[in-house]
């Protein structure tokens, strides 16, 4: 990472510290140490308090101790990483000095700032990218383990317990990675620059949202050592009530993840609504900003339902409550409803940012304005609105409210209309363009292919009689992998390639990137097409073993999965090697018009020396009169030069 250029601010301050020496020594490692100590201490105290030696039934003991210890780990970590330094100082009656604020923003700290509670939105973006790619790698390894086991029927590598645990872990780790993989890196890094802001609205909350997410990853990994979860990531009750303590760790992980994403979502919404540059009306706001904002709103509405479900699950398990335990008067359908009120919007939380990123780069690589920009905005908003009204299509076969099958079939099928609008916008933008077939454009084509298949098969599943046959079958697995891996993940990879130069100052290695693109596309379609066939012929999902008639399809799926893995490794190699020694990028290698391309790569602290003024939208390709931005304070000659550089370099 190149050193950032430091924008001087007012008068120079003396370098010596004005108190707060402790703050400057806190980082990720101190966080881990404090977190582990807190967890161990709390575990033993809780185990002592709750486990009554006179009581033979000690089954309750570990649950409470695990819950307490996992919560203590997160709080301890946050204390140790320095998340509460500033509030603590205010309690002591002292304020942060300017130097302290600049330190918190990561000024002059080199690589160390990525391991600290750093408030600069660009640092947070990089942290999110590295974390998302790491967790995606973990989830991918789990997926490969599952596929390797399923290469042949029979007991094979391991039995049902380990298999079920793997399925659940793969599910939740992938869900978390895909939720953060566009909004985390690019919503934080690019979005504020795109709207002409110097940072997020609440920089400290921004750091808090990342550092609350970070300790969640070890929590999910600890699930495996606490007996795993037998339920899959849906954690259906009452199976979750008989699960080992891994379930407690899982629930605490979800609760912390929802808190982290809620903090991030509020920050993104406030930033996008209040900090857009002078002149940037909603009509002139890039579609990616709109997508991130809409996603944040949706996440803020939907994800807390999962949190509530998990809190109640924990109460059921540790405090003998009975929200979801039918034997004690609870309702498993209550849980299913809570889960799916989160669960369906959540797939749009994953999908919309990736789609918006694709919409953002299609005009750049077609050299044409975004076709029907209003249609795209309406499509995104309609997706958000409809997605909270369709959850019961996941419960068509549950037996809950059969009379609602018709209405929910209606709302679900209505989703095909806004999805169709987005497809129209995409092909309308490509139509008669000057298609510049650089790597991001290949990903746009990959998205068009995969997401079309994912969307169409979703319509199959919206039909109640068809769903009665296909629900719980491998068909569903194939369908949502086509949307989430083939659609959202491809979009996220496009975003990495597209914004890589802005984040790192270096160009992405497109030769290896292209190889990885084709490898992934072929492997992906082989893997999941075979699953469609197996699913239609009646193979259930989440089974550790299967009848020999499904052997061929499973072998093809496993072979395809290995091809995907090779492609992903190629992509990882391209990312790492380009980051280390790719060719130096200019400020605007794509000739794009959104604001992030007017600042150096990588952008300096606080992004803009002079805040831009927006005078038109960012898609004026072929329109000399539509100018997105002017820079007051910069001499006119330099502006023209910058524009020319922007168009030609």
Q: How far is the CB of 43 from other proteins (least distance, A)?
A: 27
| Binding residues for other proteins restricted to 142-181, rule: CB under 8 A | 159-161, 164, 167
* Residue 211 vs 396, nearer CB to other proteins: 396
Which position among 380, 478, 544, 587 is part of the footprint of other proteins (CB under 8 A)?
Answer: 544
**Cα first-last separation, the chain:** 22
Binding of residue 50 to other proteins (CB under 8 A): no
Q: State the Cα–Cα distance between residues 480 and 528, nearest whole angstrom.
A: 10
| Binding residues for other proteins restricted to 242-281, rule: CB under 8 A | 242
- Contact segment (CB under 8 A) with other proteins among 33-41, 207-215, 229-237, 604-612 equals 229-237
Q: How far is the CB of 601 from other proteins (least distance, A)?
A: 16
Tokens of 197: 């802001």
Contact pattern from residue 61 through residue 80 relative to other proteins, giving x for each residue in contact according to CB under 8 A and a dash for the rest: --------------------
Which position among 205, 239, 275, 613 is part of the footprint of other proteins (CB under 8 A)?
Answer: 239
* Residue 627 phi, psi dihedral angles, 5° rounding: -110, 125
Q: What angle do CA 41, 46, 51 make, to 5 degrees?
A: 140
* Residue 277 vs 373, nearer CB to other proteins: 373
Which position among 473, 489, 497, 520 is part of the footprint of other proteins (CB under 8 A)?
Answer: 473
- Contact segment (CB under 8 A) with other proteins among 94-102, 202-210, 265-273, 398-406 equals 398-406
Helix (H) or strand (E) holding 130: helix 121-149
Q: State the Cα–Cα distance between residues 222 and 35, nearest whole angstrom.
A: 14
* Residue 470 vs 565, nearer CB to other proteins: 470
With a CB cutoff of 8 Å and minimum separation 6, the contacts of 43 are: 65, 66, 68, 69, 72
Binding of residue 511 to other proteins (CB under 8 A): no
Binding of residue 423 to other proteins (CB under 8 A): yes
Binding of residue 345 to other proteins (CB under 8 A): no
Which position among 107, 344, 471, 631 is part of the footprint of other proteins (CB under 8 A)?
Answer: 471
Binding of residue 542 to other proteins (CB under 8 A): yes
Beta bridge partners of 178: none
- Contact segment (CB under 8 A) with other proteins among 37-45, 70-78, 267-275, 463-471 equals 463-471
* Residue 35 vs 227, nearer CB to other proteins: 227
Q: Which DSSP symbol is given to 58?
A: -
Buried b (16+ CB within 10 A) or exposed e, 469-508: bbbbbbbbbbbbbbbbbbbbbbbbbbbbbbbbbbbbbbbb
- Contact segment (CB under 8 A) with other proteins among 53-61, 121-129, 180-188, 416-424 equals 416-424
Which position among 536, 572, 611, 634 is part of the footprint of other proteins (CB under 8 A)?
Answer: 536
* Residue 417 vs 576, nearer CB to other proteins: 417
Q: State the Cα–Cα distance between residues 224 and 469, nearest whole angstrom.
A: 33
Task: Give the total of residues touching other proteins (CB under 8 A).
Answer: 97
* Residue 97 phi, psi dihedral angles, 5° rounding: -80, 170
| Binding residues for other proteins restricted to 621-640, rule: CB under 8 A | 621-623
Q: Please count the other Cβ atoms lying within 10 Å of the Cβ belonging to residue 5.
A: 11
Binding of residue 59 to other proteins (CB under 8 A): no
With a CB cutoff of 8 Å and minimum separation 6, the contacts of 573 are: 512
Longest dimension (CA), the chain: 85
Q: State the Cα–Cα distance between residues 346 and 361, nearest whole angstrom.
A: 24
Residue closest to 618 by CA, chosen among 581, 586, 592:
592
Which position among 110, 112, 420, 632 is part of the footprint of other proteins (CB under 8 A)?
Answer: 420
Q: How far is the CB of 218 from other proteins (least distance, A)?
A: 25
Whole-angstrom CA distances from 559 to 453, 522, 564, 565 are 21, 11, 9, 10
* Residue 112 vs 160, nearer CB to other proteins: 160
Whole-angstrom CA distances from 43 to 3, 17, 49, 70, 248 are 43, 38, 10, 9, 13
Which class for 59: exposed (0-12), middle (13-18), buried (19 or more C-beta within 10 A)? exposed
| Binding residues for other proteins restricted to 585-614, rule: CB under 8 A | 590-591
Tokens of 207: 């750091």
Binding of residue 462 to other proteins (CB under 8 A): yes
* Residue 82 vs 330, nearer CB to other proteins: 330
Whole-angstrom CA distances from 589 to 76, 273, 508, 624 are 44, 29, 11, 20
Q: State the Cα–Cα distance between residues 584 and 196, nearest whole angstrom.
A: 24
Q: How far is the CB of 519 from other proteins (least distance, A)?
A: 18
| Binding residues for other proteins restricted to 291-330, rule: CB under 8 A | 326-327
| Binding residues for other proteins restricted to 442-461, rule: CB under 8 A | 445, 448-449, 452-453, 456, 459-460
Binding of residue 494 to other proteins (CB under 8 A): no
- Contact segment (CB under 8 A) with other proteins among 2-10, 115-123, 412-420, 495-503 equals 412-420
* Residue 99 vs 360, nearer CB to other proteins: 360
Tokens of 497: 């390639």
- Contact segment (CB under 8 A) with other proteins among 21-29, 261-269, 373-381, 636-644 equals 373-381
């Amino acid at each position: 990472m190149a050193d950032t250029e430091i924008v001087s601010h007012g008068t120079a301050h003396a370098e010596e510290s004005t108190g707060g020496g402790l703050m400057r020594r806190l980082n990720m490692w101190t966080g881990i140490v404090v977190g582990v100590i807190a967890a161990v201490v709390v575990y033993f105290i809780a185990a002592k308090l709750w486990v009554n030696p006179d009581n033979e039934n000690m089954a309750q003991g570990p649950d409470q101790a695990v819950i307490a210890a996992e919560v203590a780990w997160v709080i301890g970590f946050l204390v140790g990483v320095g998340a509460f330094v500033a509030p603590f100082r205010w309690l002591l009656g002292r304020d942060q000095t300017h130097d302290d604020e600049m330190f918190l923003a990561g000024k002059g700290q080199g690589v160390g700032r990525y391991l600290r509670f750093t408030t600069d939105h660009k640092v947070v973006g990089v942290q999110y990218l590295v974390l998302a790619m790491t967790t995606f790698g973990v989830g991918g390894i789990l997926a490969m383990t599952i596929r390797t086991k399923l290469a042949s029927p029979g007991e094979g590598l391991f039995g049902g317990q380990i298999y079920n645990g793997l399925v659940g872990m793969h599910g939740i780790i992938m869900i978390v990675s895909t939720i953060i993989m566009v909004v985390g890196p690019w919503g934080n890094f690019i979005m504020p620059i795109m709207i002409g802001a110097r940072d997020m609205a609440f920089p400290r909350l921004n750091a808090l949202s990342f550092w609350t997410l970070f300790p969640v990853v070890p929590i999910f990994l600890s699930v495996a050592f606490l007996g795993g979860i037998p339920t899959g990531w849906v954690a259906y009750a009452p199976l979750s009530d008989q699960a080992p303590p891994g379930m407690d760790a899982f629930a605490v992980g979800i609760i912390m993840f929802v808190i982290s994403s809620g903090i991030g979502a509020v920050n993104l919404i406030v930033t996008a609504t209040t900090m857009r540059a002078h002149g940037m009306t909603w009509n002139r706001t890039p579609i990616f900003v709109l997508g991130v904002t809409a996603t944040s709103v949706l996440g803020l509405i939907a994800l807390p339902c999962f949190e509530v479900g998990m809190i109640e699950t924990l109460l059921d398990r540790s405090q003998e409550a009975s929200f979801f335990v039918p034997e004690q008067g609870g309702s498993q359908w209550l849980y299913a409803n809570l889960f799916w009120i989160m669960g369906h919007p959540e797939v749009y939380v994953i999908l919309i940012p990736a789609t918006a990123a694709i919409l953002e780069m299609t005009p750049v690589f077609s050299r044409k304005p975004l076709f029907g920009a209003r249609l795209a905005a309406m499509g995104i908003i309609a997706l958000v609105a409809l997605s909270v009204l369709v959850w019961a299509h996941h419960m068509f076969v549950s037996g809950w409210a059969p009379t609602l099958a018709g209405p929910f079939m209606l709302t679900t099928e209505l989703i095909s209309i806004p999805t169709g609008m987005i497809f129209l916008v995409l092909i309308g933008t490509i139509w008669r363009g000057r298609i510049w077939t650089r790597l991001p454009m290949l990903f746009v084509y990959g998205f068009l292919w995969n997401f079309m298949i994912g969307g169409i098969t979703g319509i199959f599943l919206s039909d109640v009689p068809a769903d009665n046959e296909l629900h719980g079958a491998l068909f569903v697995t194939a369908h949502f992998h086509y949307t989430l891996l083939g659609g959202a993940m491809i979009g996220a990879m496009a975003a990495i390639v597209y914004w890589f130069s802005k984040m790192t100052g270096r160009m992405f290695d497109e030769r290896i990137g292209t190889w990885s693109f084709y490898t992934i596309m072929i492997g992906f379609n082989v893997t999941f097409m075979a699953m469609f066939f197996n699913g239609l012929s009646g193979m259930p999902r989440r089974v550790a073993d299967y009848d020999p008639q499904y052997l061929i399809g499973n072998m093809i799926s496993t072979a395809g999965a290995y091809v995907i893995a090779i492609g992903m490794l190629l992509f990882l190699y391209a990312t790492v090697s380009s980051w280390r020694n790719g060719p130096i990028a200019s400020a605007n290698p794509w000739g794009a018009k959104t604001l992030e391309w007017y600042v150096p790569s990588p952008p300096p602290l606080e992004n803009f020396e002079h805040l831009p003024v927006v005078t038109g939208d960012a898609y004026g390709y072929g329109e000399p009169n539509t100018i997105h931005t002017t820079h007051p304070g910069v001499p006119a000659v330099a502006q023209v030069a910058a524009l020319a550089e922007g168009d030609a370099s």
